[in-house]
Amino acid sequence: MGNINISGLIVVIGTPGSGKTRVAKLIAESLGCRYLNVGELSLEKGYVLGRDEERGSYIIDEERVREELSRIEDTIVVETISPYAIPQDKVSLVIVVRCRPSILLERLRGRGYSKSKIRENLEYEAIDGPLFDAMQIADVDKIVEIDGCEGNDEEIYDALRGIKKGVGRFNWSQDFLSILEEI
């Protein structure tokens, strides 16, 4: 893959079902560094403020997670859906995993998500929510969007090499509108 010199936090962010876990683990393996999932860390360390029953998810203590991540000195790949849990000064690269809503629909149905949770996540993807979240933790020159639909690993390696295709290159609005009646 070539000589890659990235230090600090490599953040992988995206809508649930977009392919974040696969991408994050591939990056960690490629770079020989640790992988950390913010949700799993929160449960393991007790950084949970409560439960959002409507969404069927935990509410993490973003401040405590951010403090924990601030203490890490190594290069580490962090998977999250929560940008506010990430210490901005430690971020070296943010990879935003994007996925076409029609593909997300099938993935989230396969996970047994409720109709309302599916719709919320598809709308979030369609309005560029993951990119907006990435911009909360890093300047645009540290952000790379990749396509999580097809599993193109070369695009991931390009992002690590610093080869960028720019941000804002995905527009899922037509795809979202085409499946609106299904959700």
Q: Which pLDDT score is estimated for 152? A: 79
What gap in Å lies between CA 178 and CA 131, rounded to an integer? 22
CB hemisphere CA count around 38 (13 angstroms): 29
Which tens digit of pLDDT belongs to each residue from 44-63?
999 999 998 888 789 999 99
Structure tokens at 136: 């909360």
Element (H, E) at 34: strand 34-37
Dihedral pair phi/psi, residue 97, rounded to 5°: -90, 120
Whole-number mean pLDDT of the chain?
91
Which pTM was predicted? 0.92
Q: Which pLDDT score is estimated for 5? A: 62
Which tens digit of pLDDT belongs to each residue from 59-115?
999 999 999 999 999 999 999 999 999 999 999 999 999 999 999 999 999 999 999
How do 57-60 and 48-52 pair as beta strands? antiparallel
Which tens digit of pLDDT belongs to each residue from 105-117?
999 999 999 999 9
> DSSP labels for 57-72?
EEEE-HHHHHHHHHT-
Which tens digit of pLDDT belongs to each residue from 133-148?
999 999 999 999 999 9
Find where tokens 């949700």 sit.
Answer: 39
DSSP 8-state assignment for residue 18: S
Beta bridge partners of 76: 9, 34
